[in-house]
Amino acid sequence: MTSISIVIPVYNAEKTIADLCRKLMMLLAMEYRLQIVLVNDCSRDETDSICKQLQREFPETITYVSLSRNFGEHNAVMAGLNHTRGAYVVIMDDDFQNPPEEVPKLLLEIQKGFDVVYCQYPAKRDSLLRNLGSYLNGSMARVILNKPANLYLSSFKAMNRFLVNELTAYKTPNPYLDAIILRITRKISIVEVRHDQRQTGSSGYTLKKLVALWGDMIVSYSLIPLRILALLGFALTLMGVYSVVNMHIRNLLPQLTDFSDLEELASVAMFFRGFQLLAIGILGEYVGRIYLKLNQEPQYIIRELFDVSGVNQEETTQR
């Protein structure tokens, strides 16, 4: 019997997580050796107590990981991946937007020899902001990560053990899973699945979090910003040469009208100061991330861990 693990990052899911786990067990437990890894990303409702009750009720199936604070979805998924046992791993949301009935489609496809299987949705049931963010994210990923044009970077995906082992080797404090996956493999497949309405609550992806995610993609996994700065610097050098030549020509031909010294000085100073601030900001972002890595900023911190052995790991675990 094939072993599979399902990783679910959980945040304020008190109304859905129990039903989701029971539905997954009903659909998959007879055909697969099933493990469900619940990672509570410091929820503010009763999610913690519900997950603990589920783990006590199904200790052979459910592993429960409770993080010490809110680290974000990708960090929570990395925490879950580090506690999976299955030959194949599925990542899905906690709100039923990823229907449990669609999981077998991903498992059938991943067993054909692919490293990862992403989902394609014929119709998305997200808000306008989330859909716009997904579109911008995909467009940026095509340029920065060399993502195939027909690939949608869905959070609902399946991976084999090879890819999971490679992913968990990354200890960066700001993991962006899809960027790491595209660094590791091009053995990628796509399946079309249903995307349902969120049953309760609203998306945890705010504009602030989306901007932070784009920042992680641009700065942590690409040298493109530095190369753009180099090109801008080259262009500014050419403009400087043009300005010097133009100034000499105007000095030789007094009949040409000159800008006033104040106007010329103000425009040049404003342009160069703005460019300097932009360059310092981008370089500072790179230096800051190097500092975080050297300072051993944790990818996640586990407060409690309940697994098949029944062990409650009270001491803090950092990765």
Q: What angle do CA 184, 189, 192 make, to 5 degrees?
A: 140
The pLDDT tens digits of the residues spanning 211-269 come to 666 666 666 666 667 667 767 777 776 776 666 666 667 666 666 566 566 656 655 66
Going by C-alpha positions, the residue among 291, 277, 288, 292 that lies closest to residue 229 is: 277
Beta carbons within 10 angstroms of residue 18's beta carbon: 16
- Across all residues in the chain, what is the average pLDDT? 82
Decide if 41 contacts 265 (C-beta within 8 A): no
Report the predicted TM-score, pTM, of the whole model to 2 decimal places.
Answer: 0.77
Higher-scoring residue by pLDDT: 276, 79: 79
Q: Which ranges of 190-223 would DSSP assign to H, the alpha helix?
A: 207-215
Q: Show the tokens assigned to 197.
A: 């309405």
Q: pLDDT band for position 315 (50/70/90)?
A: very low
Q: What angle do CA 249, 255, 259 make, to 5 degrees?
A: 70
pLDDT of residue 129 exceeding 60: no
pLDDT of residue 11 exceeding 90: yes
- What percentage of the chain exceeds 70 in pLDDT? 67
Going by C-alpha positions, the residue among 300, 311, 315, 303 that lies closest to residue 55 is: 311
Q: What is the pLDDT of residue 282?
A: 75
Q: Which of 78-82, 248-252, 287-291 has the lowest mean pLDDT?
A: 248-252
Q: What is the pLDDT of residue 247?
A: 64
The pLDDT tens digits of the residues spanning 301-311 come to 999 999 877 66
Strand partners, 21: none
Q: What is the pLDDT of residue 76?
A: 96
pLDDT of residue 130 exceeding 70: no
Q: What is the pLDDT of residue 122?
A: 87
Using DSSP bridges, classify how beta strands 116-120 and 3-10 pair: parallel, antiparallel or unpaired. unpaired
Exposure on the CB side of residue 2, measured as CA atoms within 13 A: 14
Q: pLDDT band for position 71 (50/70/90)?
A: very high
Question: Containing H/E element for 7?
Answer: strand 3-10
Mean pLDDT, range 274-292, rounded to an integer: 72
Exposure on the CB side of residue 93, measured as CA atoms within 13 A: 21
Spatial separation of the C-alpha atoms in residues 36 and 190, rounded to whole Å: 23
The CATH classification of domain 3-221+299-318, taken from the options 3.40.50.300, 3.90.550.10, 3.40.50.1100, 3.50.30.30: 3.90.550.10
| Residue 176, burial from CB neighbour count under 10 angstroms (0-12, 13-18, 19+) | buried
Report how far apart the first and last C-alpha atoms of the chain are (Å, whole number).
Answer: 31
Strand partners, 188: 116
pLDDT of residue 144 exceeding 50: yes
Spatial separation of the C-alpha atoms in residues 295 and 154, rounded to whole Å: 32
Spatial separation of the C-alpha atoms in residues 112 and 98, rounded to whole Å: 22
pLDDT of residue 50 exceeding 80: yes
